[in-house]
Structure 1
Amino acid sequence: MTGPAAAADRGQERHQEATEFLTRLTRVLLRTSGEGAEQIERSVRSAAAVYGATADLVVVLDGATVTVASQGRTTTKAVREFPEAFRMDQVVALKPLLADIAAGRLDVAEADRRLTAIESARPPYPGWLKLVGIVLFAVGFAPLMQPTWYEVWTTAVLGAGTASLAAAAERLPRLATVLPLVAAAAVSLVTLEAFARTPAHGGPVLLMLPALFYFVPGDYLSAATAEMAAGFLTTGAIRLVYAVFLLIQLYLGVILGLVITGRSRHALFDVAAHGDLPRWALFLAWIVFTVGTVLAFAVPARLTGPLLALVYVTVGVQAGFTELVGEVGGTFAAAVVLGGLATWLAARPAWPPRIVLLLPGFFTLTVGSLGMRGLTAVAGGYPIQGFHDLTKMITLVTAIAAGLLLGAVIARRPATGP
């Protein structure tokens, strides 16, 4: 077939190929949208321009509409995908793909094949190593709650339980929907019955939190704040509501533990035990934490060293500035430095995307745990302490989001060319 009809068919085919690829790209980016909606729009529109199309997106937390215009045709597609941060290897693999598309090195068919390979790739670590990673992630965080050997070994036991539940949830979708609730109830029950029998070992919530930190939505809280600051009000508001919903699940799980054990709500006292960990153990804890993050979130192993360096920089800046200007100022300063370094490094082709570089350093700022401590303190009959923690959570969430945004603005290269 030749002439206008053949040209029209070729145009229709090219439009359909571009639309299908951009829709799939949106779905993958939405699944990995830990930093918010802005990156999705930028990446999809840039790819569309390379293939002679324009793309308009309306993004919410778990979905998007993609309108693609090319070859005199317009098509709108709806995408549903829930964001999660458990396959950072796919996030890392997306960066060179997007770079090759932007450089014009891939046609639509080849770009689609590479995207398929990224989606279908197996996780870099076997399932049992992910379980180990979740335990190490919790154990490394434990000294930040209470610098005691008791906190460390009880966290190892409780973390093994939550890791097992996380593994089971991958095979049982119904469990996955209520996983924070179930994990918190199990941890609460074991802690109250076996580990929190005396104030000498610290408050029950302080013993529970490290094992539950894997489920605490600190990243959602900060991403929601950043999205609203950037003008994505609907997406940010939905993400914020979902983060609060996850915190409430954790809170209800802890309360269920009280109900099952028959303990008084005053058993949720918030008292820290006397620290007995040496300084070298506190220093090594961040290595354990970073290795756990790499394994739990499927980060390529070659990035362990750089991520550990960013963790130590974040911890050092936070500690130093906290001494000078207080906790909020120290957290803000650490977020600025972390955001700036991550943005500067991510701009280099050989480095992974910004969200991967931010991940372990961000977790060290421990935002979401304050929200859970606040809710459980209120439930335990300590309203002043509870509202103090909740207020601090709101303040620190804002400080972290603003700090990361400021660091990115400072480090981002100015646009050049048209």
Structure 2
Amino acid sequence: MNKMIIHGNTRLSGEVTIGGAKNSTVAIIPAAILADTPVQLDMVPDILDVHNLMLILKRMNVTSEFVDGVLTIDPTHIIEGNLPSKAIKSLRASYYFMGALLGRFHRAVVSFPGGDNIGPRPIDQHIKAFKALGAKVEDEHGTVKISTGEDGLHGANIFLDVVSVGATINSVLAAVKADGVTVIHNAAREPEIIDIVTFLNNMGAKIRGAGTNVIRITGVPSLRATNTHTIIPDRIEAGTYLSMAAAVGDGIKINNVIPEHLESFIAKLTEMGVKLNIAEDSIYVPRNDDLKGVSVKTTPYPGFATDLQQPITPLLLKAQGESIVIDTIYPKRIKHVIQLKKMGANIRVDDRNRILIKHTDHLTGQHIEAGEIRAGAAEVIAGLMAHGTTVISKANNILRGYDNIIGKLTNLNAKVELMNDDKDKS
């Protein structure tokens, strides 16, 4: 485990380039095992989740090579095997192997996935979808066993009770080779789902409706990659740097951005009074000082993303008046609050899980902890804002989701470094 050390109260400037979307990548890598040919992915972020997924692939005799943002995966000699529980439990996206293995072998055995502890994130909608497609699902002490009969998977109407990105993707992965037509109703609409469907369609899948709430899949017998797939830019990383630039920037240009993917976030920044110069694939953020408090409410895409409510929180501390953050997706996503309070932030959670934020003139560097990816991102921004030195333990949680964050921050003139946390070696 690593710790991140930030020497704060320094204005940042320059340019930063956003990497490929984590939330696309961690689904496309499992999806690659559905192919009957090697697969090549470009603009893959260099994050811990990618390396853990590569470990899982290795256990299935799937070779992978990751060089300069290009990940090559060869599933042509794939075998069924017990997946490494440590890697499975390190990231929640490992549950995409359920749908991918079910589509490839008509059975899967996967330990219950781990990842960020941000409150209940049940997989009941995934299980419901697998059963609709003809699978039998058993849960044996945290290990999920999924299998089909001799007839394999068949097309079905799948009605998701709640909008779920994970359940939508797993349904697609399981259905893409199923016999017949599958229709997913109340599907999630995130850009990452469109990216994954584009990847599959380019290999010969027949999927329509991605980006809408109804996705229609006609099963195909085989998937074959013929071109390199380029991952879309990471809108959550982009939003994080936008918040950082507005909080501590003296003029920062953020490159490789799709502004349309950030419309709800940009609208909220504009409401606060943040000045933005938006181009086709970049956003320039000049220095911003006079900001006002706003109310933020997370909802499914195209609403305000739950993954961005924590990164915007330190910026809200600069705003005059009170701000309120309500996370309707994960109401318990509040791990950053106690850490920011340690630094002197005027912030609290009320009995309805609303985060209440008041203007704070002064933050002081402290020893704090990154409880999960986006909480860690909020703490990085707060550390850059603070006077003195901030030490963030469990920094590996940040490295799970942010590509080359130390290098990118250093290029913006931040004083930041990564070190081994000796306390975690025992």
TM-score, scaled relative to structure 1: 0.28
| Structure with more of its chain in helix, by fraction | 1
Larger Rg: 1
Which structure ranks higher in relative contact order (CA pairs < 8 Å, sequence separation ≥ 6)?
Answer: 2
